């Protein structure tokens, strides 16, 4: 497996580390104006760029995996000087959380799953990943933005959120998006881990998430001992961007309870 690397990150605030991992095909900036600014009062809020995204180098010849992403996060915690952190991941970032829990449980104080799922890809979904990798390699990011852009938001996204999503998606290098897609295709089934998670868990889910419907998420969260589940109104698959006040309040409330 390729060597883990230190990721680029942005931080605000002081105190124990609360680290955010973005989804596909996004970068750290999805968290900056709202979660980093809003939660800096109670934590050192950190948002990382997964390898190849934002300001992080690609490395590893584009051979990505959720395990490698998780090892990168652990190495970045070393760089930040944090033994443990509260770690939040949205969608693909949630897949990284499951790997992190399996590989580096000692680095996790609590887990915050957001608009994600525990299941592995079906055969049909795996074929879709290959198609995505092929499409971006041949045509760049525009077709992915055209097809995925409208599906990641709920019914009332602001212009700012739509612009930000467009910018992140079109700024992602096609070879990075292709490598992400193949890494997601190959990710493990994490449903077996749900009953074995022993740290505090918050699961946040947009009520209007069209990519990962909320009922499946609620059922997964119910299998994690003691997990707290909070639905985010006026939120789709990127609920923290669409309804930051509800998201930040749920996270702050959860962290206060630890």
Contact residues for ligand MLT, defined by CB under 6 A: 23-24, 91-92, 184, 211, 237
Minimum CB distance to ligand MLT, residue 246 (Å): 19
12 or 205: CB nearest ligand MLT: 205
State the Cα–Cα distance between residues 179 and 146, nearest whole angstrom.
19
92 or 224: CB nearest ligand MLT: 92
Asked whether 169 and 26 are in contact (CB, 8 A), the reply is: yes
3 or 137: CB nearest ligand MLT: 137
Minimum CB distance to ligand MLT, residue 71 (Å): 19
- Residue 57: how many CA atoms within 13 Å on its side-chain side? 8
Minimum CB distance to ligand MLT, residue 15 (Å): 28
State the Cα–Cα distance between residues 1 and 67, nearest whole angstrom.
9
State the Cα–Cα distance between residues 172 and 38, nearest whole angstrom.
26
Alpha carbon distances (Å) from 17 to 156, 233, 258: 32, 27, 14
120 or 249: CB nearest ligand MLT: 120
Asked whether 192 and 102 are in contact (CB, 8 A), the reply is: no
Minimum CB distance to ligand MLT, residue 30 (Å): 10
Minimum CB distance to ligand MLT, residue 92 (Å): 3
What does the block give as tokens for 207?
A: 């009520």
43 or 237: CB nearest ligand MLT: 237
CA dihedral for 183, 227, 105, 253, sign (positive or negative) = positive
Minimum CB distance to ligand MLT, residue 115 (Å): 7
Alpha helices in 83-238 (DSSP H): 92-103, 123-139, 142-152, 159-171, 174-185, 214-222
82 or 168: CB nearest ligand MLT: 168
Residue 174: count of CB within 10 angstroms of its CB? 18
């Amino acid at each position: 497996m390729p060597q883990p690397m230190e990721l680029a990150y942005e931080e605000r605030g002081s105190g124990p580390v609360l680290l955010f991992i973005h989804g596909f095909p996004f970068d750290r900036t999805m968290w900056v104006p709202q979660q980093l600014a809003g939660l800096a009062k109670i934590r050192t809020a950190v948002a990382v760029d997964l390898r190849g995204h934002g300001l992080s180098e690609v490395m590893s010849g584009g051979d990505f995996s959720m395990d490698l992403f998780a090892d990168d996060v652990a190495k970045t915690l070393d760089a930040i000087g944090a033994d443990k952190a509260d770690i939040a991941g949205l969608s693909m970032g949630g897949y990284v959380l499951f790997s992190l829990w399996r590989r580096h449980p000692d680095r996790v104080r609590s887990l915050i799953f957001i608009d994600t799922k525990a299941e592995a890809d079906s055969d049909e979904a795996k074929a879709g990943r290959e198609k995505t990798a092929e499409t971006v390699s041949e045509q760049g990011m525009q077709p992915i933005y055209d097809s995925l852009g409208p599906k990641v938001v709920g019914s009332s996204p602001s212009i700012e959120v739509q612009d930000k999503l467009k910018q992140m998606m079109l700024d992602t290098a096609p070879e990075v998006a292709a490598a992400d897609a193949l890494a997601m295709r190959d990710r493990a089934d994490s449903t077996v881990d749900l009953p074995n998670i022993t740290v505090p868990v918050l699961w946040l889910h947009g009520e209007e998430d069209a990519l990962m419907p909320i009922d499946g998420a609620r059922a997964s969260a119910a299998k994690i001992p003691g997990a707290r589940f909070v639905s985010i109104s006026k939120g789709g698959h990127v609920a923290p961007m669409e309804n930051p006040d509800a998201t930040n309040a749920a996270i702050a409330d959860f962290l206060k309870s630890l």
